[in-house]
Chains A and B, each alone.
Chain A
Amino acid sequence: GALVYQYPRRTICKSGTSMRMECQAVGFQATSVAWYRQSPQKTFELIALSTVNSAIKYEQNFTQEKFPISHPNLSFSSMTVLNAYLEDRGLYLCGARDFYEQYFGPGTRLTVL
């Protein structure tokens, strides 16, 4: 079956530091990978979308300078939260699509102290 793994599941970082999270698609070829953030009491905001053979597209309010993403192949993606502050805390979800279905990983929960 199709699965999406994310690592780490939980992480704590000090304010002003950076942390990297990873996403691995298993059992299917991900033609796109999207990173979302769910802040406390909020819905899922799309951070950026990475598709095969296209540049990574960031949504309004999110930038490559703050959330650099690497998507070197169809099964792996990583995103770094640079210079994290309190407003960056939340659940970061990776969603990988094989065009029709979207599969989510369990998320990386980021706490910023």
Chain B
Amino acid sequence: QQKVQQSPESLIVPEGGMASLNCTSSDRNVDYFWWYRQHSGKSPKMLMSIFSNGEKEEGRFTVHLNKASLHTSLHIRDSQPSDSALYLCAASAGGYKVVFGSGTRLLVSP
């Protein structure tokens, strides 16, 4: 049974700072990662997905993937108070099933 571990559980960064979130799958066959953001009381919205080794950047968000270590990370530069939310990592391993991690709660302090 694939597990997705996220760290840290919670994170506080100052406004304008860099937030770095981590995610690791337990399944060696993992082939796709997604990062979602969920504001309180809302449904999750996809931020980025990645399936190739390396880096992908969209605006202030950068995602890294290292398939050998089954690890992905999300970096948010110039963090804003509106970035405060629960960040969820999800992964699939060669099929349709997508498993979520327990999330990292980010607080950006003004």
19 sample A-B contacts, Cβ–Cβ < 8 Å, listed by A number? A34-B96, A34-B97, A34-B98, A42-B102, A43-B100, A43-B101, A44-B44, A46-B97, A46-B98, A49-B96, A60-B1, A95-B98, A97-B96, A97-B98, A99-B96, A102-B46, A103-B46, A104-B36, A104-B44
Main secondary structure of the interface of B (DSSP, over half): strand
Interface contact A32-B96, CB-CB below 8 Å:
yes
B interface size (C-beta, 8 A): 20
A66-110 residues with Cβ-Cβ distance < 8 A to B are 91, 93, 95, 97, 99-107
Interface contact B102-A43, CB-CB below 8 Å:
yes
Task: Determine whether A51 belongs to the interface, using a CB cutoff of 8 Å to chain B.
Answer: yes
Query: Which residue of A43, A60, A91, A102 contacts B98 across the interface (Cβ within 8 Å)?
Result: A102
CA distance A95 to B44 in the complex (A): 11
CA distance A52 to B101 in the complex (A): 26
Give chain B residues whose Cβ lies under 8 Å from the Cβ of A106. 43
Give chain A residues whose Cβ lies under 8 Å from the Cβ of B98. 34, 46, 95, 97, 102
Spell out B's residues near A (CB within 8 Å): 1, 32, 34, 36, 43-46, 49, 51, 88, 90, 96-103
Which residue of the partner chain B has the closest CB to A107? B43
Query: Which residue of B43, B49, B51, B96 contacts A31 across the interface (Cβ within 8 Å)?
Result: B96
Give chain A residues whose Cβ lies under 8 Å from the Cβ of B45. 104
Give chain A residues whose Cβ lies under 8 Å from the Cβ of B44. 44, 93, 104
Give chain B residues whose Cβ lies under 8 Å from the Cβ of A102. 34, 46, 90, 98
Give chain B residues whose Cβ lies under 8 Å from the Cβ of A99. 96
Give chain B residues whose Cβ lies under 8 Å from the Cβ of A97. 96, 98
